[in-house]
Structure 1
Amino acid sequence: MYKWWVLLTGVVNIAVASDSAVLLELASKKMADPALYQQALRQGEDRVLLCGYCHGKDGNSVRSYIPNLASQTPDYLINQFESFARGERESR
């Protein structure tokens, strides 16, 4: 699951507020091409540093009031990224 989380953060900025199916398809295409996959992982790893401060380096929070991301599905994560981008959800 951690690889999906990292990969999605490397893809999601390209098409924020797009349909989640489009983003999942884009992620799948990047996973099929080794060079694009490595590029997306590098971009995603840079971006998840901020998320990791609260949600844990591997997506497992050590604080009871901060949710784990490691067990979330790619579709759920994309929908949450989109909600944050549209201002429909805020970080607390």
Structure 2
Amino acid sequence: MLYILNKYVEMAKDNPLFAVKLAVTPHVLRHAKSMHLIQSGVNLIYIRDFLGHVDCSTTEIYARADSGMKRKAIETAYTNLVPDIIPRW
């Protein structure tokens, strides 16, 4: 499998839009897939089963929030303290 992956990575490097600087390994693909599932809002239990982990604590390693997820969480938790209509005193 590693041979096939390396073959396609080398083919992709010919494309000027390919800007990946790290080594592409099967684990990198596995991590990327799990992060995309987390970003899509898939429950961690389902991701655990998909990855074949026995314990959720192993799957939580992948559950690191990126800046977009953090921003979305803050925006969701934000409550407007100032009403839309300001009273005339």
TM-score (norm 2): 0.31
- Write 1 or 2 for the structure with the bigger share of helix: 1
TM-score (norm 1): 0.30
